[in-house]
Structure 1
């Protein structure tokens, strides 16, 4: 497995980002396709709408959210797709729109992918 990073969609893309993959179900507001510089948009790897609504990025619910999202990922066919992408590139950057760089689903997804590799 290559290097797996996360980065906000609102940060400027960098040459060392490698393959940039949007992992949000919704497109980030105010970010053009040109500015995003994505190779993929994997909506299906994002948390379900019901889980995202329940969590509402509440830091107090992060542990419960991570457990529920992990359960969703265990049953999600898109995990195989993202693993194939990771295997094909030395660096993959998971792009997300959330404000907090530590409390977001992309961090949970990255940790899941590394832990279950």
Structure 2
């Protein structure tokens, strides 16, 4: 990889150093105008399932259990594998920034997704 895979809250100002900005939330962020988001794409296919998201956000599931279940969803998803291949390709050209809306910057799905993508992009080099 020539560039880094970054993460950033969508409410933080877009910057030229963001490169390709990809929204990785299933729901559109509240109060965010599409023209202000400066997105290259919206990758709903790599977000946690609605059921998993609801269990976690309702407090019925710890972050550790959520992260484990989400990683399993990603592992089983052909769309996630394809997204990892696209990310690997994009990172040859420019930075890629995964953007999200969650206020919690310490425990959120984007941290799990980024970690999974880094591993998946390394393992799919021969694809």
TM-score > 0.5, shorter chain as reference: yes
- CA deviation map 1:60-101 (0-9, x unaligned): 711111100000000112223322332223311001110011
Partner of 1:113: 117
Partner of 2:50: 49
> Structure 1 pair 112/82, CA: closer, same or farther in 2 (3 Å)?
same
* Partners of 1:13 and 1:36 within 8 A in 2: yes
Partner of 1:88: 90
Partner of 2:71: 70
Q: CA deviation at 1:43?
A: 0.7
Partner of 1:61: 62
* CA distance in structure 1 between the partners assigned to 2:71 and 2:81 by the alignment: 14
**2:37 maps to 1:33:** no
* CA distance in structure 2 between the partners assigned to 1:57 and 1:63 by the alignment: 15
Q: What's the TM-score, normalizing by structure 1?
A: 0.91
Higher Rg of the two aligned structures: 2
**2:99 maps to 1:98:** no
Kindly report the root-mean-square deviation, in angstroms, between the aligned alpha carbons of the 2 structures: 1.6
SS of alignment partner, residue 97 of structure 2: strand
* CA distance in structure 2 between the partners assigned to 1:57 and 1:12 by the alignment: 29
Q: How many matched pairs?
A: 116
